[in-house]
Amino acid sequence: VDIAITLYDGFTALDAVGPYEVLGRLPDARITFVATRPGPIRTDQASLALVAEASLAETSRPDLVLVPGGPGRLAGEGHDELVEWLRRVDAITTWTTSVCTGALFLAAAGLLTGRSATTHWSAREELAAYGAAVSEQRVVRDGKYVTAAGVSAGIDMALTLAGILSGDRTAQAIQLGIEYDPQPPYRAGSPVTAPPEIVDFLRARAVNQASGTASAPM
């Protein structure tokens, strides 16, 4: 499986690295980090850069594409090229996927119109405005399009894809290998379970920043 994970300035690191950690352990997976131009690409927190190894132009035949989210999606530069590339490679991919607000790139490419999809909880209305049938599920599959909710949901999506691609036993071995037995110290990971004032605070922040990825601190 040739997997391309797209990077752009201001992407959210865990959106990309969570799935990388899972999918990279699949037998025969070859993952390439791609961007409009190869080289170090800064995450949204700026203190970390991941290295893109290939340009979009030289990446023409991925089997699986994964687009991470992040506030950088609104900054603009190179995004037309990414959206155009997604539209082009989607014609030959087996799977086209996203994490968090990465779904909005797929939507902008016209790939989610009329399809079930999900995104970061604070960006659901924006995704719906593209004509997607927005779901509140954490991982949503509609044909070859698989989308995950915010940031950490990419890990769950990648394990789901691992099971589809290589079977339950391999996916379980990967889960055990990364000791993914989550025990969050709080019950605040979704707008349904988090204290309402924290939901309101982050929602206001997301709107104010138009970042589409509500973040701390409060």
Least distance CB 41 / a copy of itself (angstroms): 10
Query: Is 100 an annotated catalytic residue?
Result: yes
> In the sheet that 54-55 helps form, which strands lie side by side, from edge to edge?
54-55, 30-35, 2-6, 64-67, 95-99, 145-148, 139-142
The two three-digit tokens of residue 154, written as one number: 């990419």
34's enclosing H/E stretch is strand 30-35
CB-nearer residue toward a copy of itself: 53 or 81: 53
Q: Does 48 bind a copy of itself (CB under 8 A)?
A: yes
| C-alpha to C-alpha distance for 78 and 4, rounded to whole angstroms | 17
CB-wise, 91 or 181, nearer to a copy of itself?
Answer: 181
**CB-neighbour burial class of residue 193 (10 A; exposed 0-12, middle 13-18, buried 19+):** exposed
Point out the catalytic residue in the list 34, 100, 107, 202.
Answer: 100
Site membership for a copy of itself, residue 25 (CB under 8 A) = yes
CB of 87 to a copy of itself, least distance (A): 25
Q: Is 73 in the site for a copy of itself (CB under 8 A)?
A: no
Binding residues for a copy of itself restricted to 94-133, rule: CB under 8 A: 100, 120-121
Give the C-alpha separation, 60 to 198, whole Å: 43
Structure-block tokens of residue 190 = 């979704």
Asked if 54 interacts with a copy of itself (CB under 8 A), we say no
Q: How many residues sit close enough to a copy of itself to count as binding (CB under 8 A)?
A: 75
Rounded to whole angstroms, how far apart are CA atoms 143 and 158? 16
Shortest reach from residue 136's CB to a copy of itself, in Å: 11
Contact flag: residue 57 with a copy of itself (CB under 8 A): no
210 touching a copy of itself, by CB under 8 A: no
Nearest to 10 by CA among 218, 217, 154, 210: 210
**Nearer residue to a copy of itself within complex by CB, 113 or 172:** 172
The window from 71-79, 109-117, 127-135, 152-160 that contacts a copy of itself (CB under 8 A) reads: 152-160
As measured in angstroms, the least distance from the Cβ of 3 to a copy of itself is: 9
Q: Is 51 in the site for a copy of itself (CB under 8 A)?
A: yes
Q: How far is the CB of 39 from a copy of itself (least distance, A)?
A: 10
Q: CA-to-CA distance for 158 and 20, rounded, in angstroms? A: 8
DSSP assignment string, 40-69: EEEBTTSS-EEEE-EESTT----SEEEE--
- As annotated, the active-site residues are 100
